[in-house]
A = this chain, B = another copy of it.
Amino acid sequence: MNIQKNRHMEILANVICGDCRNELPKMASNSVDLIITSPPYADRRMKTYGGVNPNKYVEWFLPTTKELLRVLKPTGTFILNIKERVVNGERHTYVLQLILEMRKQGWLWTEEFIWHKKNCYPGKWPNRFRDAWERLLQFNKTKKFHMYQDAVMVPIGDWAQDRLKNLSQTDKRRDNARNGSGFGKNISHWLNREKAYPPNVLHMATECSNKDHSAVFPEKLPEWFIRLFTKEGDLVLDPFMGSGTTLVVAQKLRRNSVGIEILPEYCEIVKNKVSPLVMDLLKVG
């Protein structure tokens, strides 16, 4: 990390009050490094956006994703948090159809992360268990997107604590057999390792205590993706800002951010939570 650079970095958090379908067209093309959002699920928070039937959800959402594709940098990433509702005893298919239609728009469907909600809400139904997971769909504009994997490494599994200290002989021999001349370049890498790259399943407890907004994700979730797909000074966009978790986290991590929200009361709340302009004190000094 370049300290000199940080001293002169100003971090902006911009709250735009309005419908993202109207506001996104005003944004510059190829300007956003990461879009992360949790849009109103069909028939839930949809009422604030006009109450769209699940069968109309894809049709309603596609104009927005088209604009998102335009504003995203070629190296950027779009993380979409979504889950299909149960309609008439079945999982609705709007998420599946949305993925297919977004690919027609030009999006690449790179990956699907699973958010495992560890403390999902209690409940019981005769033909269904509690829903403890949501989709985190990763879309990209090109295959050459930025990914900073080291920023989200996790402590290695428990198994290692007793066992890694004596490194597996297998790994040594595997390496030696493959490149006869090679010595253990990789082995030393292993020996010093205390952290591992995470898999595509995220275990995060939901935050139930937020009274301001019904559909928030926990701070850890945007934090993980912001660390993974952006660096300091980059620009993060949340077109369905809600209670503003994305902006708060982005500011904490020194990323610029733009949040768009249709409900004025949420806009006011978020404006009070974030400082529109954060300037490093050292810059003045």
Q: Give the B-binding residues of A (Cβ under 8 A).
A: 89-91, 93, 96-97, 99-100, 103, 108-112, 114, 116, 118-122, 124, 126-133, 143, 145, 147, 149, 160, 163-164, 167-168, 170-171, 186-187, 190, 197-201, 205, 208-209, 211
Contact = CB atoms under 8 A, between A and B. Distances in A.
A256 B109 CA distance: 41
Contacts of A170: 208-209, 211
Nearest to A171: B208
A90 B119 CA distance: 31
A190 B122 contact: yes
5 contacts: A122-B190, A129-B200, A170-B208, A171-B208, A171-B209
A203 to B, nearest CB: 9
Given A133-B200, A201-B133, A122 B164 contact: yes
Contacts of A126: 147, 149
A121 B183 CA distance: 12
A186 B111 CA distance: 38
A241 B8 CA distance: 63
